[in-house]
């Protein structure tokens, strides 16, 4: 077999970058669990007809069939393209066994057949939280999920993140108050602002959403409003548009921003041009920018939906937000911002004096592992210099010798310091127990 | 949407069973990392032609294609059916960036289109370790991986596991020494012992492997040898067959069994009928039985291979062993042996006195979380009895009240005990911090 080539859009990491990814995954999970979210996983496949009915139907999905299957079951299954559609199905399927409001997190891969480009993959990992109620779900959960994700970003080794929030009621109420006959069309037009610019959006607002030139101008002014505190309320009021739905949306968005400003100043910002493509959102919507890396797109998005799932007896409203872990990795690792202190979990390599004494090295390793210290035994009784280089190439900080003049000794191969050590008691310094993951150049990056 | 039905062969777990699965995954990972294995993940798909060339080609694979893809790329990709073939490809692709011997673990899903039955799934999670060398790999790693997996089983909440080991050199040398003209055919015949019985295996040994009636009888006697110590060596010698490859295999198998008996008595047993289907094994082979649950099949299998991958410049010998986590779950959870103490990570529910005082409850929650205590705030300011029932239904052990006569107080809702508590200092007992996972009836199960 000649050397295989990577598959475009299907990222794989070398061991040291995988340690970074594991650190992100562990951090995300820890914060989710601190907030009482329960883990679930769903199967990778869903019935194709369900996937095409829901959500982003313009996305390319991967169809799956058994190589030797019958024609009958051909193309009936496809890989899920997000974790929301499978979760909605899981809730309907298991509603009788779940307690509502049901708080779940889900960290899994998803697949889309789109053309790969920066920050856009064919296979990628998402980390979602959703809170779903039966028939009702209190508004305060819309504040909560934003704060949980803000806490995740504070805990991650990454540039500052800003969660941008808007509210569908606010937008729809404003569009209606400004004279739109089709507020959905107005929303889709404003969503194109970054792509096609204000002039062409104004044209669309008039041609598609039934707005006057003045109404379109007001909508564009609304989309320019952005504030880290509740001052956006007065800015919107000053535009002179009124509608009951607008009042409701302004109050809700102000509550999200005020709560976030109190608990995590700067983490959440009202940005009234945020639209989100998906039809099913009905309240707060979220997008997240990494400061200095806005071009990669949103790394964490979601919103409130009043009826993602319904089974005839009950409707399940929810609010959810989804962190794009692979996109985040593509920034942190792809741009060299973050690195791991070593490529293996190992803290100690036990040197082997000669092959007949391998069992002595294995005894030491067993003793260290029993106290939670990740330990390898050298694969060959080479000269010690070669065994030290084995450790050095992997970033293993300590090499243990079983047969020095003072008996057992451990060497920090970064400094060369060697001290006598008791295999039944020695511990590595805390910062060396497991690989650490750090922002490579925090000064440069957090200032950019 | 009416209530969706589960998809046969694609297991999904309810939250409390998922906590069991997470506990298994965390335990497996912890032991692997203690032994210095580095994590990698590979993409879910491989080129179909690679999958069909390698390994278990009789397995049904799932072909993957983009719904709107061109005919040209149709059917060129398939979901991997194990983690060994993708790992071999990863090693070839990244050889220049890896340090050898390379120790990796990989915990991922795999897919096979086989008919689902007990212990056999279409989507399942495998947890693999492999140690792979460039051109050479020392024998002692064949001892090592068995001991690592034995340690995994000791750490898991499960019935006793016995790792059954055999050696391909031993088997091949014996078959040749007994007069076989096709030792591969002899191996495949013996592999059918449990399915078709000794008489029909004897027929096959004569018709397919070129053995005499006496030779076939000797091979069946070999297959009956089983011992937890090295006494199997004398038993085999007593059969009077000799061959240089047999000597080598006996020595290797004795080394595996002796080392395991010294470190973990009873965990590893020589069983000379173990064959393993895969052609590429060349030394030690492993299978694992759960005592009392042998009918489910092997839960952990693997072996030594001299050339899983080769790129013209180098050959990569290795040894690997793969834990079938979904099969294990189907025994532990499916047979009700193991359960979690609660269905959520949450240790404390903070009660809300009225909605205007929700921020007080949130302050307490933030304080508890800052010390690592998983905490939820009650979703509604219901009567306290209802808030306590919210916690009780999820198994949350503690409910916190912010406005009692003595100020803050925390109630253990299992005992009813309520004590005054300081949100800045209180800690739950260690055993209540996170959900615990226990064998439901260890006496009954470990005796069976």
At A444 the pLDDT is 47
Residues A182/A189, Cβ–Cβ less than 8 Å: no
Find chain B residues with C-beta within 8 A of A325's C-beta: none
CATH architecture entry for A15-339: 2-Layer Sandwich (3.30)
Collapse the DSSP code of A142 into the 3-class scheme (helix H, G, I; strand E, B; otherwise coil) and give the result: helix
Structural tokens at position B219: 């091979």
Among partner residues A68, A312, A376, which is closest to B36 by beta-carbon distance? Answer: A376
| Contact across the interface for A312 and B67, Cβ inside 8 Å | no
Structural tokens at position B346: 């949450």
Residue (of A15, A36, A230) closest to B398 by Cα position: A36
Place of tokens 């939906």: A305
At A52 the pLDDT is 81
Give the integer Cα–Cα distance in Å for B62 and A439. 40
At B448 the pLDDT is 34
At A55 the pLDDT is 52
Three-state secondary structure of B103-138: EEEEEEEEECCCCCECCECCEEEEEEEEEECCCCCC
Give the integer Cα–Cα distance in Å for A194 and A295. 11
DSSP string for residues in A12-37: ---HHHHHHHHHHHHHHHHHHHHTTP
Terminal C-alpha separation, chain B = 45
DSSP assigned state of A289: E
Other CB atoms within 10 Å distance of the CB of residue A162: 19
Q: What is the pLDDT of residues B85-98, one digit of tens each?
A: 999 999 999 999 99
Residue (of B141, B150, B130, B145) closest to B42 by Cα position: B130
Residue of B nearest to A348 (CA): B36
Using N-to-C axis directions, what is the helix angle for B244-263 and B140-155, rounded to 10°?
40
For the ranges B51-60, B310-319, B376-385, B436-445, the lowest mean pLDDT is seen at B51-60
At B136 the pLDDT is 96
At B445 the pLDDT is 43
Residue of B nearest to A5 (CA): B93
Helix H or strand E encompassing A183: helix A183-190
Structural tokens at position A250: 């302004």
Domain A348-437, what fold? Rossmann fold (3.40.50)
Q: Is B404 exposed, middle or buried (0-12, 13-18, 19+ CB in 10 A)?
A: middle
Residues B78/B63, Cβ–Cβ less than 8 Å: yes
Q: What is the mean pLDDT of chain A?
A: 93
Q: What is the pLDDT of residues B408-441, one digit of tens each?
A: 999 999 999 999 999 999 999 999 999 999 988 6
CA A161 to chain centre: 12
At A445 the pLDDT is 43
- A102 pairs with which residues across the strands? A132
At B311 the pLDDT is 86
Q: What is the pLDDT of residues A353-383, one digit of tens each?
A: 999 999 999 999 999 999 999 999 999 999 9
Residue of B nearest to A259 (CA): B359
Q: Splitting chain A (448 residues) into consecutive groups of 10 residues, what average pLDDT does each group show?
A: 85 98 98 98 94 66 86 78 95 96 98 89 97 96 97 96 97 96 93 93 96 97 96 98 97 95 94 84 96 95 90 93 97 96 97 96 97 98 97 98 95 97 97 93 45
Find chain B residues with C-beta within 8 A of A139's C-beta: none
Residue B387 Cα distances to A98, A106, B119, B363, B434, angstroms: 17, 26, 40, 18, 21
Place of tokens 């991986």: B145
Q: What is the mean pLDDT of residues B162-178?
A: 97
CATH architecture entry for B15-335: 2-Layer Sandwich (3.30)
Give the integer Cα–Cα distance in Å for A332 and A337. 5
Q: Is B85 exposed, middle or buried (0-12, 13-18, 19+ CB in 10 A)?
A: buried
Show the CA angle centred on residue A439, arms to residues A438 and A442, nearest 5°.
135
Residue of B nearest to A76 (CA): B67
Each residue of A60-70: b (16+ CB within 10 Å) or e?
ebbbbbbeebe
Q: What is the mean pLDDT of chain B?
A: 93
| Whole-prediction pTM | 0.95
Q: What is the pLDDT of residues B261-297, one digit of tens each?
A: 999 999 999 999 998 876 789 999 999 999 999 999 9
pLDDT grade, residue B119 (50/70/90)? Answer: confident
Structural tokens at position B50: 């690679």
**What values do phi and psi take at A161, rounded to 5?**
-115, 140
Say if residue B56's pLDDT is above 60: no
Peptide bond into A101 cis (omega under 30): yes
Residues B95/B310, Cβ–Cβ less than 8 Å: no
Sorted by where each begins, the domain ranges of chain A are 15-339, 348-437
At A13 the pLDDT is 98
Give the integer Cα–Cα distance in Å for B198 and B209. 15
| Contact across the interface for B66 and A62, Cβ inside 8 Å | yes
Q: What is the pLDDT of residues B290-342, one digit of tens each?
A: 999 999 999 999 999 998 788 888 999 999 999 999 999 999 999 999 999 99
The Cα diameter of chain B in Å comes to 91
| Contact across the interface for A369 and B14, Cβ inside 8 Å | no
Residues A65/A189, Cβ–Cβ less than 8 Å: no
DSSP string for residues in A364-388: HHHHHHHTT--EEE-SS---HHHHH
Structural tokens at position A68: 């030797």
A8: closest CA of chain B, how far (Å) = 11
A337: closest CA of chain B, how far (Å) = 20
At A219 the pLDDT is 96
Peptide bond into B101 cis (omega under 30): yes
| Contact across the interface for B104 and A15, Cβ inside 8 Å | yes
Give the integer Cα–Cα distance in Å for A396 and B179. 51
Find chain A residues with C-beta within 8 A of B50's C-beta: 4
Find chain A residues with C-beta within 8 A of B394's C-beta: 99
A98: closest CA of chain B, how far (Å) = 8
Place of tokens 């280089």: A389
Find chain A residues with C-beta within 8 A of B38's C-beta: 15, 18-19, 343-345
ipTM summary value: 0.95
Find chain A residues with C-beta within 8 A of B15's C-beta: 38-40, 98, 104
| Contact across the interface for B15 and A40, Cβ inside 8 Å | yes
The Cα diameter of chain A in Å comes to 91
Residue B365 Cα distances to A29, B25, B304, B372, B376, angstroms: 18, 28, 52, 11, 7
Residues B190/B175, Cβ–Cβ less than 8 Å: no
At B60 the pLDDT is 85
Residue (of B198, B242, B244) closest to B221 by Cα position: B198
Residue (of B236, B315, B318, B324) closest to B281 by Cα position: B318
Among partner residues B69, B369, B373, which is closest to A113 by beta-carbon distance? Answer: B69
Q: What is the pLDDT of residues A84-143, one digit of tens each?
A: 999 999 999 999 999 999 999 999 999 998 888 888 999 999 999 999 999 999 999 999
Find chain A residues with C-beta within 8 A of B62's C-beta: 64-67
Give the integer Cα–Cα distance in Å for B349 and A112. 39
């Amino acid at each position: 077999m000649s050397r295989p080539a990577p598959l475009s859009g299907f990222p794989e990491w070398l061991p040291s970058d995988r340690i970074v990814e594991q650190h992100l995954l562990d951090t995300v999970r820890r914060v989710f669990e601190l907030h009482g979210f329960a883990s679930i996983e769903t199967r990778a496949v869903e019935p194709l007809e369900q996937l095409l009915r829901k959500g982003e139907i313009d996305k390319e999905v991967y169809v799956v069939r058994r190589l030797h299957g019958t024609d009958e079951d051909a193309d009936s299954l496809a890989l899920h393209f997000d974790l929301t559609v499978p979760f909605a199905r899981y809730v309907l399927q298991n509603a009788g066994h779940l307690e509502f409001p049901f708080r779940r997190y889900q960290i899994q891969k998803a697949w889309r057949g789109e053309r790969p480009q920066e920050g856009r993959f064919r296979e990628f990992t998402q980390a979602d939280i959703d809170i779903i109620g039966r028939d009702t779900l209190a508004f305060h959960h819309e504040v909560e999920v934003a704060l949980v994700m803000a806490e995740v970003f504070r805990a991650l080794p990454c540039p500052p993140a800003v969660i941008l929030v808007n509210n569908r009621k606010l937008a729809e109420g404003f569009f209606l108050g400004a004279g739109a006959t089709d507020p959905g069309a107005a929303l889709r037009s404003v969503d194109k602002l970054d792509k096609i610019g204000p002039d062409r959006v104004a044209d669309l607002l008039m041609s598609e959403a039934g707005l006057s030139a003045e109404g379109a101008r007001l909508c564009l002014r609304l989309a320019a409003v952005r504030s880290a505190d509740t001052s956006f309320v007065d800015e919107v009021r000053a535009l002179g548009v009124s509608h009951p739905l607008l009042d409701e949306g302004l109050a809700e968005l102000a509550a999200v921003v005020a709560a976030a400003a109190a608990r995590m100043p700067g983490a959440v910002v009202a940005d009234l041009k945020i639209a989100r493509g998906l039809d099913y959102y009905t309240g707060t919507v979220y997008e997240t920018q990494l400061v200095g890396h806005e071009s990669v797109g949103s790394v964490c998005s979601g919103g409130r939906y009043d009826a993602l799932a319904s089974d005839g007896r009950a409707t399940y409203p929810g609010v959810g937000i989804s962190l794009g872990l692979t996109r985040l990795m593509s920034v942190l690792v792809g741009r060299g911002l973050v690195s791991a202190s070593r490529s293996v979990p190992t803290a100690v390599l036990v040197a082997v004096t000669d092959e007949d004494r391998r069992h002595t090295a294995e005894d030491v390793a067993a003793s260290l592992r029993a106290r939670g210290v990740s330990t390898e035994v050298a694969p060959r009784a080479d000269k010690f210099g070669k065994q030290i280089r084995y450790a050095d190439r992997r970033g293993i900080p300590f090499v243990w010798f079983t047969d020095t003049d003072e008996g057992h000794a451990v060497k920090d191969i970064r400094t060369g310091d060697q001290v006598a050590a008791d295999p039944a008691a020695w511990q590595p310094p805390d910062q060396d127990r497991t690989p650490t993951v750090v922002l490579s150049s925090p000064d440069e990056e957090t200032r950019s």
